[in-house]
Chains A and B, each alone.
Chain A
Amino acid sequence: MANLNISAGAPMAAEVGVSRRPQARWQRGLTPYGFVLPYIVVMLLFGLGPGIYAFLISFADFGGGVPRYFAAGFRNYMVAFKDFRFGFTTTNIISFLGISVPLGIALVVMLALLLHMRPGRLSSALRTIYFLGGAVTGPVLVLVFIIMLNPLLSPFGPLLHVMGLNSFDDVVTPHTLAFLFTIIGFFSGAGMWIAIQYGALEGIPVELLDAAKIDGCDAWNQLLYIKLPLIRPYIIYQFILIFAGNVQLFVEPQLMGNQTYVQGNVPHIWSPNQLAYSFAFEMGNFGAAAALSLLMLLIGLGASYLVIRWTGFFNIEAR
């Protein structure tokens, strides 16, 4: 890092008269802050500010029309936790996480490993196809999948019929929702992660794999005993980020449950994020909304902390 410290070299340049218009020392000392000042401002306003304000609001009392900060104690939290939908949405999100996180990671890693067994034009074309699903998000993703999941309309209809699913009432039920949101989310999210895990596999030194081959290790054993252990940090990274992202599930249940022909089969409020949204916009209870969203924010913060601690990717001190 020492050779990057260019300010040490600058006065010398000024002394020998190379610089036409030397900056004063105090000016040079302030220059870095000129570069980061706009970033610090937007970080305070739109990164840290909202979190801090939500924290204040979660303890505020709105009884008199204007918020009285710290007047409510933990009342807002109690309202959120005691709401009859809190247990329901929490159970739902736990079952969604229980399915989507392990399944999503296993499939992404499996596909990346299989693609990497024989890199080439086919492998690259397949990665593109997998990647394109990422272009379909939000309402369009829901639109496509309420067709794909309907045995009467879907190109997958014959397959669904074979599985004994003959109408959307058989497919979209309260018991299958966690699994369905997994299938829908994987379509849009997997391609990017496959690209990331594939990139990690490309980072494995060729000599290592060559040595394994000479020792008689076939493609499958290389996959299991060399490649898989070596990309472990990336798997942890994906695990934590997928977990933190999936806790926030909102769009799919919100749209499916409120404005499509399957809405009768999807509860109006299914995920905790929908509950927080409902507190704010349907019940006008900003205190409880802040309490709930703060809880989910804390899960996200905890996850970021774990990524930084466990993966070693972000060792900024070493630079």
Chain B
Amino acid sequence: MFLKRNTDDMGILGSLLRYGILLIFVVYFAVPLIWLLVAPSRDVTQITSDPNPFAFGSVDRLVTSWQNIMSYNGGEVALWFGNSVKYSLFALIGSLTISIPAGYILAVKRFPGRSLLLWLTLITMLLPASALVLPLFLELNIVHMINTQWSVMLPSLFFPFGVYLTYIYYASSLPPEILDAAVVDGCTETQTFWHVALPLATPLLGLLGFINFTANWNNFFLPYVMLNDDTLYNLPVGVQAMISSTSALRPGFNPTPGAISFQFADAAMIGLIMIVPVVIIFLFAQRYVISGAFTGSVKG
């Protein structure tokens, strides 16, 4: 009777409505990205008066944008890029080295204090990272660590989300028989973790690596508060410093007479330098997130 209905029946009008709404948001998400991609090749007249906002400008202007950015403050952008790589890799390796064993043991062992540790992990994991920035500043100020690279790198070692995901991963997908077998074979706890549990964690490492690296690469508020010395900046704070000290986003404003007058194209170029590594990682790692693996971990 009703079975002849198309299983995906949403009606012609409904279908149009669905595609219409989805398309509007494609425009909203894609247009700024495409604009940013071509902007470094467009000089100021093209950006302000070319009727086609997505037309490629010229290779010359692209090269000029690159050179302007690379020569800014004696090549500081390369330094910031290097700092970003250093801070992010330190956070990635350090926080995973600390979080994965902790999450693992919380999943496989019962010991006094375990419950408290799980609760504290949950609470701090759900806390927005920015809520701790000013308190962290006040704390590190007592030990005179402000304006050092450690003020950015050390706090990044605390990664409760990593502990929680690891805990869920082992609690839900590691068969207890495997661990029992390892114990019967005479493995110590450490050997079991190293030779049995860790090799099974590849999907976990993919997801955690993605979340951790992008969060630290994009970290702005913490280094912005902690660092004064511009040679210590990471890229996000560097981009902000460049924007604030040049005419890049303020046509006509030029605080240093005789310096290069920066244009939108230059600002867009440094923007691209900052986001391209993340976009590559996004495309590479999205299956972990988009496939719903992330939700599975929330669901437990």
Residues of A within 8 A of B (CB): 1, 3-7, 9-10, 13, 18-23, 28-29, 31-36, 38-40, 42-43, 45-51, 53-54, 57, 107, 110-111, 114-115, 117-118, 124, 126-140, 143-148, 152-157, 187, 191-192, 195-196, 198-200, 202-203, 213-216, 218-220, 234, 237, 241, 244-245, 247-248, 250-251, 255, 258-261, 263, 273, 276-277, 280-281, 286, 289-290, 293-294, 296-297, 300-301, 303-305, 307-308, 313-317, 319
Check B120 for interface membership: any CB of A closer than 8 A.
yes
* B292 x A202 contact (CB < 8 A): yes
For B180, list chain A residues within 8 Å (CB): 3, 6, 9
Of the A-B pairs whose beta carbons lie under 8 Å apart in the complex, a sample of 25, sorted by A's number, is A36-B102, A39-B99, A42-B157, A46-B158, A51-B135, A117-B10, A117-B18, A128-B290, A129-B30, A132-B29, A133-B29, A134-B214, A143-B267, A156-B31, A187-B32, A192-B289, A198-B290, A199-B295, A219-B9, A241-B128, A247-B128, A248-B131, A303-B126, A314-B122, A316-B119
* B132 x A51 contact (CB < 8 A): yes
Q: A57-B138, A128-B286, A305-B123 are in contact. List 17 more A-B contacts (CB 8 A).
A: A18-B185, A18-B186, A20-B186, A32-B114, A39-B99, A110-B21, A115-B22, A129-B29, A130-B25, A140-B36, A140-B271, A154-B53, A155-B53, A157-B53, A214-B2, A244-B131, A259-B240
Chain B 89-107 residues near chain A, CB threshold 8 A: 97-99, 101-102, 104-107
* B292 x A139 contact (CB < 8 A): no
CB of B56 to closest CB in A, whole Å: 14
* B292 x A203 contact (CB < 8 A): yes
CB of A142 to closest CB in B, whole Å: 8
Check B278 for interface membership: any CB of A closer than 8 A.
yes
For A234, list chain B residues within 8 Å (CB): 295, 298
CB of B270 to closest CB in A, whole Å: 8
Residues of B within 8 A of A (CB): 2-3, 5, 7-11, 14, 18, 21-22, 25-26, 28-33, 35-36, 39, 47-48, 53-54, 97-99, 101-102, 104-111, 114-115, 117-128, 130-139, 141-142, 154-155, 157-158, 160, 163, 171, 176, 179-180, 183-186, 188-190, 193, 214, 218, 220-221, 225, 236, 239-240, 243-244, 249-251, 253, 264, 267-268, 271, 274-275, 278-279, 282-283, 286, 289-296, 298-300
* A38 x B130 contact (CB < 8 A): no
Known: A35-B102, A140-B274. A132 touches B33 (CB 8 A): yes
Docked Cα-Cα span, A220 to B249, in Å, equals: 46
* A38 x B98 contact (CB < 8 A): yes
For B275, list chain A residues within 8 Å (CB): 135-136, 140
* B243 x A255 contact (CB < 8 A): yes
For B118, list chain A residues within 8 Å (CB): 316
CB of A312 to closest CB in B, whole Å: 9
Instruction: Report which of A47, A133, A293 forms a contact with B160, defined as CB distance below 8 A.
Output: A47
